[in-house]
Structure 1
Amino acid sequence: MSTHYDVIIIGLGAMGSTAAYQLAKKGQRVLGLEQYGPAHDLGSSHGGSRIIRQSYFEDPAYVPLLLRAYELWNEIERESGQEILTVTGGLMMGPPDSLTVSGSIESSKQWNLAYEILEAKDIYKRFPAFTPSPATVALYEERAGFVRPEASVYTHLLQAEKYGAELHFFEEVVSWEAHPSGEGVRVITANGVYEAGKIIISAGAWAPDLLRDLGVSLQVERHVQMFFEPTQGIDIFSVGKQPIYIWEADDYVQLYGFPSFGLKAEGAKVAFFRKGTACTPETIDRNIYEDEVNMMRHYLAQGIPQLNGRFLQGKTCMYTNTPDEHFVISLHPEYPQVAIAAGFSGHGFKFASVVGEILADLVIEGKTNHPIDLFTPQRFAANKIV
């Protein structure tokens, strides 16, 4: 016998957890389905920290969503008593013509965000862990910081349950179908059959299989987060002394990092941006290799030499990329009872709080006042990307 809900959510990671919370809080009967445990480390929502920033070099269109995301991160912290967002300040560094710098300036100017421009000598004077080349400049943003992914997922799931959401873990979805009339969906898992009026698909790296008919190429990549022990002690890299940073080196390779927080034995985290290798969730190699660590050491030696100490650990995660590296957040083009959150392309977690609100709008109202035109899947139709 099937069970009926208002909304079924497939995937309870970054976006699914916030959607479950927002919907349950609004009185919707919610069923959340997750093939692994809560806040697991097999997808994209783990590793202790994710950068959040407002001077968004990817596109100024993201800034209004970021401003709302900050409000909602603060709101869930007040409601739950959990610390999720930590403001540290942020450096967007690189050659003056780099996307990291020029794009951040463009967004800041368009939205009247406060920022400073620092020359190389000023970067070193204020943050002596960095040794930038003479041609390097930086945009400094006071409101940048990091979000704790595991804490976010756990907290939103707990709050969703408090509001009445029914959450099933270790229950893999076999298939889903939407009624052609635009009313009703059915989801089949190994444990049963569930019916609802609406469905949200927020399955991360598993979305390509669940959204084969969407007409969007979603490509999964393996990435590595690395943790190093600083050579002169952890203090200079601690919260309060070190900002988050995105550094576009002179050869235009981007890497990013965080101040140390929590246990000192964890060191400080750094990773490359957009230097991943193609994979699937089933084929991803979870091993960390010496040549990967040595490549990171090459860049640390150039710009952050005090972080180039003992390698402590590495953690793999997955990006799910769209062709233009912008998100897909939309109602399904063919099924208005289906909402999609996919293709976050390695820069989505900071938006999770507001994406949950958007998804709740889409399934309850059929629309949202948030600006999401950039994220429609129909933008790929002209190129016939399949």
Structure 2
Amino acid sequence: MSDFDVAVIGLGAMGSAAVAHLAERGVRVIGFEAAFPAHALGSSHGDTRLIRLGYFEDPAYVPLLHRAYANWRALEAASGADILTVSGILQIGRPESGIVAGTIASCTLHGLSHEVLDAAASAVRFPAVRLEPDEVAVLEPQGGFLRPETAVMAHLRVATGAGAMLRLGEKVTAIEPDDAGVTLVSDHSRVRARKVIVATGPWIADLVPALAGIARPIRQVVAWYTPRDGVSATLGPMLPFLLDEAEGGSFFGVPALGPDGLKVGKHAHFMEPVDPDQSNPPVNEADLAMLDDFVARRIPVAVGQRRAAITCRYTMLPGEDFLLDHLPGEPRIVVASPCSGHGFKFASVVGEILADLAMNGGTSLPIDAFSFAALAGKKG
């Protein structure tokens, strides 16, 4: 008999949620984390993550987002933590841009509340972020932000409260499947389980060699700026935003929530690969010059007011979608890939999906686009 029904390797955004959902179902579950949860070498830190219903990437994500919102509220109720703030969000660009056109398409298809503001109207209502004359801002009132470190720790508190065992500072180095289940070999022990979920972020290819060269860890830099007047770039006068600069890429921002100021970054930054086994490369002058230039052009109230900048990681898949599937030919192993820099908002529902896949072999939630078969069609 196996020691556990399910073992979860990696307790970041997705793994912590999976452990919580499994434990709440009464499943005998153990979770492994090589470091401490929400550590700085993964992708689940940095104070905030954006969340929105009007998903420009693909309207097919919207049903999952509805479930994610409900699950975040359920986690707050179960843990007492403050995780999800619905503040409204601005999605900015030229009308034909991917962010604007895609957001409007998702909102229209799914009947989501939204308002389109021209540059003049946006300047009156939300003056901190400067639009070009030919740009518009799509105001989606259900958008907002999550607190990632709080969310990860809340999932783990719920998990342990429901009976999950956690092993922190223990790295799993091998998975050995057999007819009766799997053996997990760590740097401290060997553990038996019927099923395993692999959610190791930038290290996914170490345990899932099929993803070597496909799941690519890259360097991401974000910075914080203090508005000179102390008010205009705080939450309320300013909203979280996404801004499409066409060939210049897309940027994101979160208003000042505390003394560190407002947060700014560029999605996928310079697409520079990183070695996940090494420390994060330091922030350099090119990083700061790009973000400072964006702030100077778009958030002039914060020019010259940078307080801090950090390096973290995205792990990108071809097509920038997710991967949530059984390993081909191995029904005992469920793979939860890194989610290409836009997955944290889905963590609460991905945990539910992973629990379904491990315990039931499938899920009623719409994940066909996130299979190994779908990924194979994007690799070329």
Give the TM bin, normalised by the shorter chain.
over 0.9
- For residues 378 and 22 of structure 2, the distance between their equivalents in structure 1, rounded to whole angstroms, comes to 35
Q: Quick one: which of 229, 232, 238 aligns to 1:242? A: 238
Contact 1:215 1:384 in 2 (8 A): no
- Aligned residue in 2 for 1:268: 262
Q: Which residue matches 1:74?
A: 73
- The alpha-carbon deviation at position 304 of structure 1 amounts to 1.3
Distance 1:231 1:290 in 2: 23
Q: Which amino acid aligns with 1:352?
A: A
2:198 alignment partner in structure 1 = 201
User: Quick one: distance in 2 between partners of 1:363 and 1:31?
Assistant: 13
Query: Take 2:281 and 2:375, find their aligned partners in 1: how far apart are those partners?
Result: 32
Q: Does 1:332 align with 2:327?
A: yes
Aligned-pair RMSD on alpha carbons? 1.6
Match of 1:227 among 217, 224, 227: 224
Aligned residue for 1:353? 348
Q: Which residue of 2 aligns with 1:278?
A: 273
Q: Contact conserved, 2:315 with 2:339, CA < 8 A, in 1?
A: yes
Letter in 2 for 1:70: Y
**What is the CA distance between 1:314 and its match in structure 2?**
1.1
Cα-to-partner distance string for 1:313-358 (whole Å, 9 max, x where unaligned): 1121111111110000112221111111103000000000000000
Partners of 2:279 and 2:290 lie apart in 1 by 20
Cross-structure match for 2:255? 259
Q: Deviations over 1:250-294 (max 9, x none)?
A: 644211000121x32x11111001223111212454311122111
Per-residue CA deviations over 1:26-84 (Å, capped at 9, x if unaligned) read 00011100000122121100000000001101111100000000000001111111100
- Further displaced range: 147-156 or 281-290: 281-290
Bigger drift between 248-257 and 298-307 goes to 248-257
Unaligned 5+ runs, structure 2: none
Q: Which moved more, 1:282-291 or 1:353-362?
A: 282-291
Which SS does the other structure have where 1:138 is aligned? strand
- C-alpha change, 1:296 and 1:215, in structure 2 (3 Å) is closer
- Opposite residue 246 of structure 1, the aligned amino acid is L
Please name the residue that 2:362 is paired with: 367
1:49-198 alignment runs, 5 A limit? 49-179=48-178, 181=179, 183-198=180-195
Q: After the TM superposition, which segments of 4 or more aligned residues of structure 1 sit over 4 Å from their partners? A: 382-385
SS in 2 for 1:134: coil
**Counterpart residue type for residue 273 of structure 1:** H
SS in 1 for 2:331: coil
C-alpha separation between the residues in 2 aligned to 1:294 and 1:185? 49
1:215–1:381 CA contact under 8 A, matched in 2: no
Question: Residues 285 and 63 of structure 1: is their aligned pair in 2 closer, same or farther, counting only changes over 3 Å?
Answer: same
Distance 1:40 1:192 in 2: 23
Letter in 2 for 1:377: F
Q: Distance in 2 between matches of 1:310 and 1:39?
A: 27
- Relative to 1, partners in 2 of residues 1:213 and 1:294: Cα closer, same or farther, differing over 3 Å? closer
| TM-score, normalised by the number of residues in structure 2 | 0.96
For residue 334 of structure 2, give the secondary structure of its aligned residue in structure 1: strand
Identical positions, percent = 40
Q: Distance in 2 between matches of 1:384 and 1:93?
A: 30
Amino acid at match of 1:258: V
**Corresponding residue of 1:32:** 31
Instruction: Determine if contact 2:199/2:338 at 8 Å carries over to the other structure.
Output: no
- Give 1:55's aligned amino acid: G
Equivalent position to 1:294, from 289, 292, 305 = 289
Q: Which of 207, 210, 213 is the equivalent residue of 2:207?
A: 210
> CA offset at residue 126 of structure 1?
0.6
**How far apart, CA to CA, are the structure 2 residues paired with 1:124 and 1:379?**
42
Provide the secondary structure at the position in 2 that maps to 1:286. coil
- SS at the partner of 1:171? coil
* Contact 2:127 2:237 survives alignment (8 Å): no
311-320 vs 14-23, which moves further: 311-320
State the Cα distance separating 1:239 from its structure 2 match: 2.1
SS in 2 for 1:278: coil
Match for residue 315 of structure 2 among 320, 323, 340? 320
TM-score (norm 1): 0.95
> How far is 1:302 from its partner?
1.5
Matched residue of 2:364: which SS? Answer: coil
Using the TM superposition, give the Cα deviation of residue 110 of structure 1 relative to its aligned residue in structure 2, in angstroms.
Answer: 1.1
Report the Cα offset of residue 384 of structure 1.
6.8
Q: Distance in 2 between matches of 1:251 and 1:322?
A: 21
**Which 5+ residue runs of structure 1 have no aligned equivalent?**
none
What is the CA–CA distance in structure 2 between the aligned matches of 1:384 and 1:298, rounded to whole Å?
34
Q: Which moved more, 1:160-169 or 1:74-83?
A: 74-83
1:141-197 deviations in Å (ceiling 9; x for gaps): 001000100000011101100000000000011111222x4x411110011101100
